Chain A
Amino acid sequence: METTVRGRSAGTGSRGGHGREHQHIASLCDGKVQSLAEIAARMKLPLGVARVLIADMAADGLVAVYEPTSFENNDAVGTELLERVLSGLRRL
């Protein structure tokens, strides 16, 4: 759900073969990062449908997909990220 997606604005290749949903997603995350949940909500699509569309676009190189960080493992990466979250919240 909180997997993030960023459009690849290089504009290479033809978009002729892509449907309206793909174009809508491309415009939503053009130059900015959006989560799967945000894209689904803004397009009024169920999460699962948005997930499939984005996977197609990722396969075609139209978007970059970034997995969220999991905090289930007690590793240093998670701790460092938690510290970033904490200082970010304090700055708000």
Chain B
Amino acid sequence: MSARPATTGRVTSAKIVIAGGFGVGKTTLVGSVSEITPLTTEAIMTSAGVGVDDTRQIPNKTTTTVAMDFGRISIDRDLILYLFGTPGQTRFWFMWDELVRGAIGAVVMVDTRRLADCFAAIDFFEHRKLPYLIAINCFDGMQYHQAQDVRDALAIPSDVPVVSYDARNRESTKQVLISLVEYVLSMRRQRVGA
């Protein structure tokens, strides 16, 4: 038998969403800090015409299967943090309400050689009012643009953090997650103090 007297303690979980274009390194980022090898899960998503009042009335709604990778970090015995990578195909973004519901916030991974790939994710988080930060992945230690250039190019509001990092490096990834949580906490404190 277990030495622990009780295993009925309240367990809770939290999640951070990792977004960005296809091939930007989302799974690499998740894998660099996850305590498990990143897993892939599939969900069947239903979509219907945007702007239509009652989807139950629509006979030809479509379903599609989307896959996402995720990892896990045990924060303490009763709190588990999950990192969910968004599906690569940005055209499925609008279906990902469940993915962002209740999330702490999101990391938008940016490859400066393909800046436009992250537009959809930024729009989505802005629309859903989910806090996010921009993380510029420096492939091979190279940074092609300065943070301010990226901020200007993507029209990122001045309060949203823009950081550079290396997705393969655990310390670097950890720092990105820390920056996001610090940002979310500071936003909450501002709102409370207002």
Q: Which residues of A contact B (CB under 8 A)?
A: 1-4, 6, 9, 31, 33, 35, 37-38, 40-42, 46-48, 64, 66-72, 74, 78-79, 81-86, 88-90, 92
Contacts and interface: CB of A to CB of B under 8 A. Distances in A.
A79 B185 contact: yes
A57 to B, nearest CB: 16
Given A31-B7, A88-B79, A82 B184 contact: yes
Contact of B104 (A40, A46, A82): A82
Chain B residues touching A, range: 35 or more
B76 interface: yes
A3 B14 CA distance: 9
Contacts of B15: 1-2, 68
Contact of A88 (B2, B76, B101, B188): B76
Interface of B: 2, 7-8, 10-15, 33, 36, 39-44, 65, 70, 72-73, 75-76, 79-82, 84, 98-99, 101-105, 170, 174, 177-178, 181-182, 184-185, 188-189, 191-192
Given A85-B14, A86-B182, A2 B82 contact: yes
A34 B102 CA distance: 18
A64 B75 CA distance: 20
A71 B185 CA distance: 10
Contacts of B81: 85, 88-89
B41 A66 contact: no
B13 A46 contact: no
